[in-house]
Structure 1
Amino acid sequence: MTAVLDRLRVTDPARWRALALRWRRWAEVAGRLIAECGPPLAALRAAWRGAAATAAVQRLEALRRRLVLFRLHCWRADQAAGEFAATLSRARALLSRSLADAALGLAARADAGAAERFEALTEAIRTPAEPPGPERPDCTSAPAEVHRWWMALSREQRNWLLATEASWLARMDGLPAADRDIANRLLLDNRRDEIDQAITRASGRDRDRLREVRDGLARLSDRLATASGPRAYLLQLDLAEEGRAVVALGDPDRAANVLTHVPGMTADLASYGGELARAQRVAEHAAEVSPGVATSAVMWLDYDAPDFVDEAASARRAEAGAPALRRFQEGLRAAHEGPPGRQVVLGHSYGSLVVGRAAAGGLDADAVAFVGSPGVGVDSARDLRIPSGEVWSSTARDDVIQYAAVSPGSLVHDLSTVVSGPIARPLLAFGLPERNLWFGHNPSDPAFGAHVFASSPGGGHVGYWEPGSPSLRTLTEITLGTAR
């Protein structure tokens, strides 16, 4: 046992992260080679006819397919090495706390799991991909049905579908996160080409919008390629409107706890980095507090967040986004490996209304948390279909949302208070948090029925994730299921 402990102490997780990065780089090289196959194929088809031309095209297409499969295998190796590095880091953290037995158990499970994944990958490389039968789930299939269909396929059939039908699989809730990540990464080069071509055709404000989307896509691509921070899984990417993305930090299918972060007003692909950083702080703090279990954080931006006050004054965008959030959570549950994980959904600002609308209709979550909320569309925690005692809310004392997003009735009352009384009345009318907000009862009012937790007094509207803040600590505890 002492020898194993000594080996764990000197094992450097950074080496495994570097290995994952090398596999990612090989996938990039293969992507460039695939792109170079395009012009020769187009030229052959345009200028050459006959049996020899057909044979040449077939050879180039076969080469392209092999390169696509090579990329797929590179990303699988990248995922396995990255997750192994993350687990080793947690095992070493346990060891530093003199929890030798827990550290050894975690390291042993990680070693066995990584060995199994690399062995399966070796076998997959030796075995050619093969097309599956004609059965396919349709757009009405529940995520659990999608997952059963996918797992019933052979490894070779799944690889064939990923290599040939990535655009169809990329947004399919119920697919394992690792496979969905591969499908979306395979589409990244096409997405870049699409946005560049759209910019050349656009003008005025539309061109400016597309350029912002392109810049956001470039930053997202950089984050997917980097070795710093938890390994990112690209679960959804859409360049429509201001752009949408769903990114998980750490594999949610293998995590004991999964936090889904739903951002609010003005969130888009160009600003995704700040939202992802907030989600990452919870995941990293959870790893510090409880290294014995894995925690994944998901930045879920799969709805058209409002950009202007008049758009944010309507619940329409939240109502449109709620069904997609429900399906995503159902997909997380269906694809999870081992015992069910703890699923927590966090809504910030207008995102809290998206979460509220989803939870009112039934959301596959073990807990929901609202921060900086303008109201969640219901008047009581009892109206949310969430386990009893698992609704949480916080609003910082200086968060403008509780003064700016008051209900029409409250606004009329406050104005009448101001005009009908002495000079101190404005402070009484507008200086205290409102009970009734634009989208219903303030969830941070104790009468709403949620657990109200503290925030930093000077945090404002976006300070809930500041390092060392009481709100970050409580959000972490909610994610881990240890909040009281």
Structure 2
Amino acid sequence: MTVLRATDPGHWAAAACAWRSLASAAGRWAAEVRHCATTVRTVWRGAAAEAVSARLARLQRLLDLFRLGCWAADQALSEFAAALIRARSGDDMRAAAAADATASALLRGLFLIPASPPGADPPACTATPAEVGRWWAGLGPEHREWLLATEPGWIGSLDGVPAAARDRANRLLLDRMHVDGTLPERLADGDGPRAYLLRIDPAGEGRAMVALGDPDRARNVLTQVPGMTADLASFGGELARAERIAVRAGELAPGEATSAIMWLGYDAPDFLGEAASRSHSDAGAPTLRRFQDGLRATHEGPPARHTVLGHSYGSLVVGAAADRPGLAADSVVLVGSPGVGVDSAADLHIPTGEVWATTSRTDVIQWAAVSPRGLAEDLLSAQVRPAGALLAFGRPEDDLYFGRNPADPSFGARTFPSPADAGHLGYFTDGSPALDALANIALGRTDVIPR
């Protein structure tokens, strides 16, 4: 026990950052090699030029493999540091020893150089995440590294491939995309939970999925679906809100590993006219269901508690994913919702008592998303009685555009308090009762949440 208390997790976190920095340096070298290769192809022809181009291609692949190894070391050391912090919080020497064994095994498998491409057939495009997981597990370590280096766009997008592998593939892909903004900065950041890039696609307004902490090794996993106007440009702010939940969960239960994922896997509407349609949510729901299936398939050890949180229009995406059986979630949370497509929590295929909702009294969603029927009733009330306008338009609506307000008692969800002045974004503010409730729901500590 004395050894555990004397161990400084910060040393291991610093070592992880060093490996991350080395991967960045190698990325600059790889970019120079790519530039040289392009120049050679432009100005030189013939057998000698082809031989040089082949050597440059091999050098670039070796640099990519080196970077993959650096990120694997970064992951192993980051998670080891986090595990030591959890073990120290409870003087759990057994947990520390298990973390040491896991990190040692991962570090021994670094920097594998495949001799040839894998011979196994790829999974069918219709394969389930569980089938993809079995295919990946059946590959040899060298073959996995080959695919990560040569097919990062494909492997990085495959639900059923472990988060650690997807992260390394997508980091390699990200450098080739030249994506600006706060996302690359957060991926390089050494503060807070280690970020895992589970998907990146800059097409259109962009898609991105980032986990704070490895979801495959966490006891609790929360997937947060953002709402209207969310895109790659605003992803940093969305990710910061998910990170507050992960950090607060760690404070409330320091001995448990909790991963929070910001899931922007759909085209969020940009304007009120778009947000008045279910087309964006209906298109995103199957992708969310498959992503959750992938989390179940790749998780190590005992099953994790999976929570899916939808904020604003994102709650409609969650509702569309949960309105039929099969969503891999133990709990759903609906925050600042315009309605979720159903009028009762019983219509969502989620375990009884595990549908949660809150909406602040100052959240504009309750006025901006009034149903046509509710608006007609309000207008009629305003005409019939002099005080009708105040009564009709001076209080939050329960009949919203996409169904009954989930925070209304008649919906049947378990409600929890949020700050009266939260507006539409204040649910995730440090120190708020809503943030504590979100963290406790993710932890499964639902008995401590005030109603």
CA drift at 1:129: 4.7
**Match for residue 369 of structure 1?**
333
**Match for residue 63 of structure 1?**
59
CA contact (8 A) 1:370 1:443 kept: yes
The question of 1:186 aligning with 2:172 is answered: yes
- Deviation track 1:386-432 (CA, whole Å, cap 9, x = no partner) reads 1121111011122121122111101100111111102x222211222
- Deviation track 1:192-227 (CA, whole Å, cap 9, x = no partner) reads 1xxxxxxxxxxxxxxxxxxxxx5xx33111111111
Aligned counterparts of 1:269 and 1:29: Cα–Cα separation in 2: 25
Aligned counterparts of 2:239 and 2:40: Cα–Cα separation in 1: 44
The question of 1:357 aligning with 2:328 is answered: no
With normalisation by structure 1, the TM-score equals 0.89
SS in structure 2 of the partner of residue 454 of structure 1: coil
Aligned counterparts of 2:289 and 2:100: Cα–Cα separation in 1: 35
Aligned counterparts of 1:452 and 1:381: Cα–Cα separation in 2: 11
**Match for residue 424 of structure 2?**
461
CA drift at 1:385: 1.2
Aligned counterparts of 1:107 and 1:40: Cα–Cα separation in 2: 47
**Match for residue 23 of structure 1?**
19
**Match for residue 211 of structure 1?**
none
**Match for residue 380 of structure 1?**
344
Question: Which of the numbers 403, 408, 414 marks the counterpart of 1:445?
Answer: 408
Query: How many residues are aligned here?
Result: 446
**Match for residue 33 of structure 2?**
37
**Match for residue 7 of structure 2?**
11
CA contact (8 A) 2:221 2:304 kept: yes
**Match for residue 155 of structure 1?**
141
**Which residue identity is paired with 1:145?**
E
**Match for residue 97 of structure 1?**
none
SS in structure 1 of the partner of residue 96 of structure 2: helix
The question of 1:107 aligning with 2:93 is answered: no
CA drift at 1:50: 4.4
Deviates more, 1:104-113 or 1:442-451: 104-113
SS in structure 2 of the partner of residue 464 of structure 1: helix
**Match for residue 207 of structure 1?**
none
1:390/1:445 CA distance change after superposition, 3 Å? same
**Match for residue 327 of structure 1?**
290
- Deviation track 1:13-63 (CA, whole Å, cap 9, x = no partner) reads 222111111111111111111111123323433444444433332222221
Point out where structure 2 has 5 or more consecutive residues left out of the alignment. Answer: none
**Match for residue 116 of structure 1?**
105
With normalisation by structure 2, the TM-score equals 0.96
The question of 1:78 aligning with 2:74 is answered: yes
Aligned counterparts of 1:50 and 1:314: Cα–Cα separation in 2: 58
The question of 1:241 aligning with 2:204 is answered: yes
Deviates more, 1:55-64 or 1:381-390: 55-64
CA contact (8 A) 1:396 1:457 kept: yes
CA drift at 1:460: 1.4
CA contact (8 A) 1:367 1:390 kept: yes
CA contact (8 A) 1:106 1:292 kept: no
CA drift at 1:309: 0.9
The alignment-based identity, stated in percent, is: 60
**Which residue identity is paired with 2:99?**
A
Aligned counterparts of 1:42 and 1:236: Cα–Cα separation in 2: 28
Question: Which of the numbers 265, 279, 282 marks the counterpart of 1:302?
Answer: 265
Aligned counterparts of 1:128 and 1:165: Cα–Cα separation in 2: 14
CA contact (8 A) 2:225 2:315 kept: yes
CA drift at 1:174: 0.8
Higher helix share: 1
The question of 1:394 aligning with 2:358 is answered: yes
- Deviation track 1:424-482 (CA, whole Å, cap 9, x = no partner) reads 22221122222211000111111111111111121111111122222111111111111
Aligned counterparts of 2:381 and 2:115: Cα–Cα separation in 1: 73
CA contact (8 A) 2:307 2:442 kept: yes
- Deviation track 1:309-335 (CA, whole Å, cap 9, x = no partner) reads 111111111111111111110111111
